[in-house]
Amino acid sequence: MVRIKHRYLLFNILYPSAPSSNSSTSNTSTPVAPLPSLPPYISIHRASPGHLNAHHLLSALRHNISNIFGEHGLGVTQSSLKVIYFSPATSTCILRCPRAHFRLVWASLSFMDSLPGKVYNEPRTRCVIQVVRVSGTIRKSEEELLRRARRDVVRAKLDGVSEETALLDDLVGGAGIGMSKKSKGKDRAIESLHCNVGEDGIEDFDEEEEGELSDTDD
């Protein structure tokens, strides 16, 4: 018996434009801007529309594969395509796809620029699909998902600390001993965070895992 081999794509659904309250407003209306209190990397990571679920997402992907790669692309991928995990609150997803054609699925995700509306005639939602990791196992994808979630929390907290530190520096002139200690600690945390970001990669399967996945059982 030959074992079926898969790859698991972890991706984010980004929404660069802020949602408008009325899509049919006139041209004189002022566009809705992102909340100024939120950093850009948080404002684009907002929740997905309420009607979007794993079924709609998979259907949109299959339609996009068919449009780009034709019936052949759809035929070699659709039997293995499956949404393993989808969170509308964080707009993150883990998708299973065939190992031999995972780059085809990856390309189709990258070319997706909108998501379907709740009904057929409803306007589509503009988006950007960002594939952040390709793994050989579900466990590796879940670990990467948790690692990135923790990193984003730390990054948001560090941005808040940075603003408070700048405000206190203006008030006390930067002469406080306690402030210097906090600043050094913050600088070390920021340096560590940047090192972690620099080490990020896309493909997360090593030679041992690749060899294990390529084994076949008679």
CATH code of 88's domain:
3.30.70.3250
Contact 112, 61 (CB under 8 A): yes
Residue 110, pLDDT > 90, answer: yes
Residues 114 and 12 in one domain: yes
Task: Give Cβ neighbours of residue 137 (< 8 Å, ≥ 6 apart).
Answer: 8, 209
Looking at the domain assignment, is residue 23 inside a domain? no
Token pair of 49 as six digits = 């529309």
Residue 90, pLDDT > 70, answer: yes
**Spatial CA neighbour of 136 closest among 214, 199, 59, 19:** 214
Looking at the domain assignment, is residue 86 inside a domain? yes
Residues 86 and 14 in one domain: yes
Looking at the domain assignment, is residue 42 inside a domain? yes
Residues 86 and 165 in one domain: no
pLDDT in tens, 135-189: 999 999 999 988 988 887 787 777 665 554 454 455 445 444 444 444 555 555 5
Residues 100 and 160 in one domain: no
Task: Output the CA torsion 203→206→207→210 (10° steps).
Answer: -70
Q: Would you state the pLDDT for residue 172? A: 45
Q: Would you state the pLDDT for residue 213? A: 41
Residues 42 and 122 in one domain: yes
Q: Would you state the pLDDT for residue 198? A: 42
pLDDT band per the 50, 70, 90 thresholds, residue 122 = confident
Residue 98, pLDDT > 90, answer: yes
Please count the residues of the chain. 218
Looking at the domain assignment, is residue 79 inside a domain? yes
Residues 77 and 169 in one domain: no
Looking at the domain assignment, is residue 123 inside a domain? yes
Q: Would you state the pLDDT for residue 9? A: 96
Token pair of 207 as six digits = 């030679």
- State how far Cα 111 lies from the chain centre: 15
Share of the chain above pLDDT 70, in %: 61
Looking at the domain assignment, is residue 64 inside a domain? yes
Residues 76 and 166 in one domain: no
Residues 162 and 181 in one domain: yes
Contact 14, 91 (CB under 8 A): yes
* Position 178, amino acid: G
Residues 123 and 168 in one domain: no
Say how many domains are in the chain.
2
Q: Would you state the pLDDT for residue 202? A: 75
CA dist., res. 150 & res. 156, Å (int): 10
Q: Would you state the pLDDT for residue 92? A: 92
Q: Is 189 helix (H, G, I), strand (E, B) or coil?
A: helix
Looking at the domain assignment, is residue 72 inside a domain? yes
Looking at the domain assignment, is residue 213 inside a domain? no
Q: Would you state the pLDDT for residue 123? A: 86
Q: Would you state the pLDDT for residue 39? A: 64
Residue 10, pLDDT > 70, answer: yes
Q: Would you state the pLDDT for residue 100? A: 92
pTM score of the predicted model: 0.67
Domain with 182, as residue range(s), is 148-196
